[in-house]
Structure formats: C-alpha cells, structure tokens
C-alpha cells in the first residue's frame, strides 16, 4: 500500500520538524482587511488551505504559513518574530508603535484618522482643542499629535463606537477612522482635521534570516506585478492605416505598440497598455484621431 502523503499532515502545521523554511505571515482574522489580504495572496499564486474559521493554515503553492489574528495584535507578533511578516493598517501599526519595517503599501484599506466635533460647534483650528475631552481608540497617535501642536487636552480611550461619545456627554471631540464620512454625519459630527492618512501595508520583522528574506523578495516581486497590473489596462483598437501614425503617437512610449494587419485591407489592429491616470483622456484622443472598436481588457499580472 502506498502510504506516502502528498500534503503535510495538519498536526505538522506548527512547522516544528518541517525541513522547509516557511514565511510566516500574520493577517487579520476577520474584518475590513481580511478579504483583500487573502485575495492579494491568491493573486500572487498563494492558495491557502481551509481558510474558514482557522487560526492558522499553510499554502501548498508557496512556502507560507498564515496566522489569522486581531489586527491590533499583528505589529506585536511581527516585532517578536512570531510572524515574519504581516498585513496591517498604518493606523494600527503607528498606534502600537512597535519595531517593524514597512515593506510595501498595498493600496487597500484606505482611511484617515480624523478629528471631528459636533456640527454646531465652531472650529477655527487646533487651538480650539485646548482643555477639551477627546474620545478615541488611538490614544498614542492623538497624544503625539497634541504634543506636536502644544495642546493640552484630556484623552479618553474607548475601544469602539467612538462617534457616539459627544452625543452622550462623554467627550467634546472625537478622533476616529473615517473613510466616506457618513458615520460622522449620522452622529451629528463634522470632520475638522486629519491626523493620519492610512492604508494596509506589508510589514516585516527587523531581523529576518537569509532564507526568509529570499522568500519575502519572491513575495514582493509578485505583489508588485499584481499592483502594477491593477493600475494598467490592455487596450485594443482598429485603426485605418492612413491614421496609424497619429494614433501610435498618442500611445505611451514604453515600447512601441503592437500593430497587426486586419483582414480588411487598409486597416490595422493596434494593441497597447494604458495606465489608469491617463486612461479616459487617451481613449478620447484615440477616438478623435480615428481609432474605432476600442476594447479595454483588465491585465492580471505585469512583470517588467
């Protein structure tokens, strides 16, 4: 009977005894960063085994072990080297003030840490915060901000539903995470100052060994290819040959576009890559220059 096992038995998930070095990554267990974090790993070709309701898992397609944790604990785990790397919001990373290096901004989980006051309150500048009671889940970042501004105020640390604090008389001011601002609005508050712009980042322990660094480099190479692809679109269009030169001149000069003859004489198919920031403008110009049947296709990976 062939008893050889294709996969590591679950009892071996700790990595103890396993010969191969695995990169250990800490990811939020559930919440706003979870889906995007797992999606990013998947897009990097890292499939995870049995993700549901697990505290940790491994990948069969990349030497990686994944720990699912509360986001607040991720900086500590990475500082301690229990995890080699982690995905966490900058807001949490800087609030926890742990020793871990930011390797890459990931472009999701975007929000800002802002000061808000009651809509009826007048606010002319930070000096208005003097002597006020501030409710926040970010006592460290708020006290650093106040120190820098030479303001003395009372900080009340609360762990959730910060935005109701003024309404129930607990505080005059709140400092909380904002993305659209609708939560503030619903609670009769207005945003008056931003302390920090935040997004999810990949962080790493300060003293990775050589093998771990190699694995991190490999992961980073893939993350960059995925991010680059998201910022670009593949564009195909038909162009009458007499207008080809004008159309080609509009396309980015990275490498010259691909030009193929169409079955219909006098026409060509032109393929190129356009970046997000110039996309609509270029499409309009291409149309005006005589391009027809413009097709736009998402790019999965871009390896330069």
Which residues contribute to the site for Zn ion (CB under 5 A)?
71-72
By CB under 6 A, residue 89 contacts ligand ATP: yes
Minimal CB distance to ligand ATP: which residue?
89
Helix axes 34-43, 210-230, angle to 10 degrees: 100
**Residue among 237, 297, 299 at smallest CA distance from 269:** 237
> Which residue number, 73 or 193, has a Cβ lying nearer to Zn ion?
73
Smallest separation (angstroms) from ligand ATP to the CB of 109: 4
- Give backbone dihedrals phi and psi of 232, rounded to 5 degrees, phi first: -130, 155
177 binds, among Zn ion, ligand ATP, none (CB under 5 to 8 A by kind): ligand ATP
The one segment of 19-27, 31-39, 121-129, 240-248 that binds ligand ATP by CB under 6 A: 31-39
By CB under 6 A, residue 75 contacts ligand ATP: no
By CB under 6 A, residue 33 contacts ligand ATP: yes
Binding test (CB under 6 A) with ligand ATP, winner from 31, 45, 131, 167: 31
End-to-end CA distance of the chain: 48
By CB under 6 A, residue 111 contacts ligand ATP: yes
Give the DSSP letter string of 138-199: -HHHHHHHHHHHT---EEEE-SS-GGGTTTTTS-SEEEEEESSSHHHHHTTEEEEEEEEEE-
Nearest-5° Cα angle at 91, 176 to 116: 20
> Which residue number, 30 or 275, has a Cβ lying nearer to Zn ion?
30
> Which residue number, 33 or 38, has a Cβ lying nearer to ligand ATP?
33
The number of C-alpha atoms within 13 Å of 163 and in the hemisphere containing its C-beta is 17
The footprint of ligand ATP on residues 119-178 (CB under 6 A) is: 177
One symbol per residue from 55 to 74: x for binding ligand ATP (CB under 6 A), - otherwise; what is it?
A: ---------------xxx--
Smallest separation (angstroms) from ligand ATP to the CB of 12: 27
By CB under 6 A, residue 38 contacts ligand ATP: no
Query: Residue holding tokens 């910060």?
Result: 162
By CB under 6 A, residue 92 contacts ligand ATP: yes
Please tell me the distance from the alpha carbon of residue 242 to that of residue 231, in angstroms, as a whole number: 31
Please tell me the distance from the alpha carbon of residue 41 to that of residue 220, in angstroms, as a whole number: 11
Q: What is the DSSP letter of 199?
A: -
Reading phi first (left if > 0) and then psi (alpha if -120 to 50, else beta), residue 31 is in: left
> Which residue number, 36 or 72, has a Cβ lying nearer to Zn ion?
72
Q: What is the DSSP letter of 108?
A: -
Smallest separation (angstroms) from ligand ATP to the CB of 92: 5
> Which residue number, 72 or 144, has a Cβ lying nearer to Zn ion?
72
Please answer whether residues 113 and 196 qualify as being in contact, where contact means their C-beta atoms are separated by less than 8 angstroms.
yes
Distances (CA, A) of 256 to 21, 28, 168, 253: 43, 43, 63, 6
By CB under 6 A, residue 32 contacts ligand ATP: yes
179 binds, among ligand ATP, Zn ion, none (CB under 5 to 8 A by kind): ligand ATP
> Which residue number, 76 or 232, has a Cβ lying nearer to ligand ATP?
76
> Which residue number, 70 or 231, has a Cβ lying nearer to ligand ATP?
70
Rg of the chain in Å (alpha carbons): 25
Please tell me the distance from the alpha carbon of residue 304 to that of residue 288, in angstroms, as a whole number: 31
* Binding footprint of ligand ATP on the chain (CB under 6 A): 28, 31-33, 70-72, 89, 91-92, 109, 111, 177, 179, 198
């Amino acid at each position: 009977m062939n008893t050889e096992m294709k996969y590591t038995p679950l009892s071996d998930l700790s990595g103890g005894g396993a010969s191969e070095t695995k990169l250990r990554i800490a990811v939020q267990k559930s919440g706003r960063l979870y889906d995007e974090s797992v999606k990013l790993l998947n897009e990097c070709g890292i499939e995870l085994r049995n993700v549901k309701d697990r505290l940790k898992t491994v990948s069969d397609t990349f030497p990686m072990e994944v720990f699912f944790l509360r986001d607040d604990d991720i900086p500590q785990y990475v500082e301690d080297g229990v995890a080699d790397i982690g995905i966490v919001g900058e807001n949490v990373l800087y609030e926890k003030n742990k020793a871990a290096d930011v390797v890459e901004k990931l472009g999701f989980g975007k929000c800002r840490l802002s000061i808000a006051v009651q809509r009826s309150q007048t606010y002319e500048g930070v000096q208005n915060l003097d002597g006020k009671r501030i409710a926040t889940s970010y006592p460290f970042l708020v006290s650093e901000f106040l120190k820098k501004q030479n303001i003395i105020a009372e900080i009340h640390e609360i762990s959730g539903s910060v935005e109701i604090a003024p309404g129930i008389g607990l505080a005059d001011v709140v400092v909380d995470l904002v993305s659209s601002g609708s939560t503030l609005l619903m609670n009769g508050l207005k945003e008056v100052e931003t302390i920090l712009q935040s997004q999810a980042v990949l962080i790493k322990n300060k003293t990775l060994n050589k093998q771990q660094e190699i694995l991190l480099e490999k992961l980073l190479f893939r993350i960059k290819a995925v991010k680059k692809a998201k910022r670009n679109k593949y564009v195909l269009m038909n162009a009458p040959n007499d207008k080809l030169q004008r159309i080609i001149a509009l396309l980015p000069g990275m490498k010259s576009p691909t030009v193929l003859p169409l079955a219909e004489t006098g026409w060509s198919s032109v393929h190129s890559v356009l970046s997000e920031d110039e996309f609509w403008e270029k499409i309009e110009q291409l149309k005006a220059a005589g391009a027809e049947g413009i097709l736009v296709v998402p790019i999965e990976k871009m390896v330069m």
